[in-house]
Amino acid sequence: MTNLAKAGELFVSALEAQQNRDYRNAERLYLEALTLAPGRPSVLNNLATVLLSAGKAPQSLPFIRRLLQADSRNPDAWTLLGNAELSCGNIDGALQAFEHAMSLKPDHPVTLANRANALNALGRHDEALGSVQAAFGSRPNLPRRW
């Protein structure tokens, strides 16, 4: 079996662990997959997401930066960076990342909602409300919990 095939098997197992919220196992499996397939965007993305979900935002940052080095035009990676920065308390950095994501994909409701969180944390409540309204405007059928 090739390294890439083994990494693929590890990725599938990690994804299953991630879906079951077994973040410790998912992290271990994604790290192992990454050693076999260094720089693989899907592994970097999911590993960073697991680390964020597990409350390890600072540890997620190097993987997100590697993901952005591979594809700086990926709006989801910029949103992920914004979420990590926000979790680390770097609100200005989070807002910059969300705004960069929006420059690539202006109507993405998740980015708009997360941008609203950063704006709210900065005390820019009117702008935060506008960002939430834009999120609804881009997808009027979003669940009401938003």
State pLDDT tens for residues 9-58.
Answer: 999 999 999 999 999 999 999 999 999 999 999 999 999 999 999 999 99
**Are residue 92 and residue 146 in the same domain, yes or no?**
yes
Interatomic CA distance for residues 6 and 9, integer angstroms: 5
**Residue 143 confidence (pLDDT):** 57
pTM over 0.95: no
What DSSP string runs through 111-135? HHHHHHHHHHHTT-HHHHHHHHHHH
Instruction: Please check whether residues 28 and 95 belong to one and the same domain.
Output: no
pLDDT of residue 139: 58
Look at residue 141 in the predicted model and tell me its pLDDT. Answer: 60
Question: Of 71, 91, 118, which closes a domain?
Answer: 71
Q: Which residue segment(s) compose the domain that 101 sits in?
A: 72-146
65 and 133 co-located in one domain: no
Q: Does one domain contain both 61 and 96?
A: no
pLDDT above 50 (res 145): no
CA atoms within 13 A on the CB side of 43: 23
